[in-house]
Amino acid sequence: MVPKHFFYYGGQAVIEGVLIRGQRCAAMAVRRPSGEIETLYLPLSSLYSGPLRRVPLLRGVLVLVETLVMGFRALQRSTAIAYSQAGEELSGPGLALSGILALVIAISLFFLLPLLLARSLGGFLNSTLLVNLVEGLIRLLLFLGYIKLMGLMAEVRRVFAYHGAEHMTIHAYEAGEPLVAERVRRFSTAHPRCGTAFLLVVMVVSLVVFSILGHQDLLWSALYRVLLVPLIAAVSYEVIRWSGAHQGMTLVRLVTAPSLALQALTTRPPDEGQIRVAIAAMEKALEGDGIMAPATDTPTSGQEKVTPGPVQPQGDAGDPSP
């Protein structure tokens, strides 16, 4: 059952917390060193929430940019809260530079490096299709290896647990269940609209697009892989959005099964405290949208006290996938 005021809520895990993107704002809940949960709002820019967001394909590009911008801000803010650090946060040019640098590294690692490695094997492969398939396989292996290495870090494993708690909470809300830990815990840590699923779809879409383009010299091939990133992201977003809305179809469940299985690498079963943080973020987002949550998960101890935080200055925010 879908709640009356249905909206595709999305989110992401941050340091010791969860971020939920609502219709009017983004809400974040972070566990303080004292054990209390601090909640705060991150206002959304009209650029990401206006009419352009309803335009197919274009909205996928907006979501990509929005996710990068809000992701950096949320990680900065959550780190400061979780570790009681006071300091100036990146904004303006500094934030833009960080986002661009991250995008350049991602494109270089997952698009350009697979191209170079696949082309180096060109002498052993006798068709463009085989070269593209090898490139896609290398891209997938690099992605899986990167996630696996990240998962070896204790702090990242905690982030993965919050990621699972975020998925479970969104599942519970979309099913019309009360937002209490006992009910949320019943749901899966995998979600069809997850950013991990999005990245897997990106790999498949990029394989199709690059195969259609056929063989080009190395320079043009590299240039295509950079310039076509927005288009690939836009198409991938539409695929994820459509599949998330049609989970009842057998074909959709079969197609999305690999992406759900892949989330075993990026999520972990959360403990009750982490679930409560995710619930606090979800309820804060619902409050910001003027929607009452199905139920309130009443704190059972002083360490579960929720402390409202300040509203952040107006600026760009984001809408990550669950």
Query: In the prediction, which pLDDT does 134 show?
Result: 92
pLDDT in tens, 281-298: 999 999 998 885 444 444
Q: In DSSP terms, which residues pair with 37 in a beta bridge?
A: 31, 306
CA 63/CA 234 separation, integer angstroms: 9
pLDDT digits (tens, 9 = 90+) for 55-81: 898 988 888 888 888 888 898 899 999
In a domain, 158, yes or no: yes
Residue 322 falls inside a structural domain = no
At 103 the three-state DSSP class reads helix
pTM reported for the whole predicted model: 0.82
In a domain, 317, yes or no: no
Is there a domain that residue 175 lies in?
yes
Which range of residues forms the domain containing residue 206?
10-308
**Ramachandran quadrant class, 176 (left: phi over 0; alpha: psi -120 to 50; beta: rest):** left
Q: Report d(CA 26, CA 101) in Å as an integer.
A: 24
Least confident of 87-91, 188-192, 285-289, 298-302: 298-302
Would 319 be classed as within a structural domain?
no
Compute CA distances 303 → 13, 29, 214, 273, whole Å: 21, 14, 59, 9
pLDDT in tens, 228-254: 989 999 999 998 888 877 877 888 888
The answer to whether position 5 is within a domain reads no
Domain count, the chain: 1
Query: What pLDDT does residue 315 have?
Result: 30
Longest dimension (CA), the chain: 67
- Residue 66: what pLDDT? 83
Classify residue 2: in a domain, yes or no.
Answer: no
Beginning with the edge strand found earlier in the chain, give each strand of the sheet holding 306-308 in spatial order: 10-14, 17-21, 25-31, 37-43, 306-308
167, 267 contact by CB (below 8 A): yes
* 314 inside domain: no
Rg, C-alpha atoms of the chain = 20
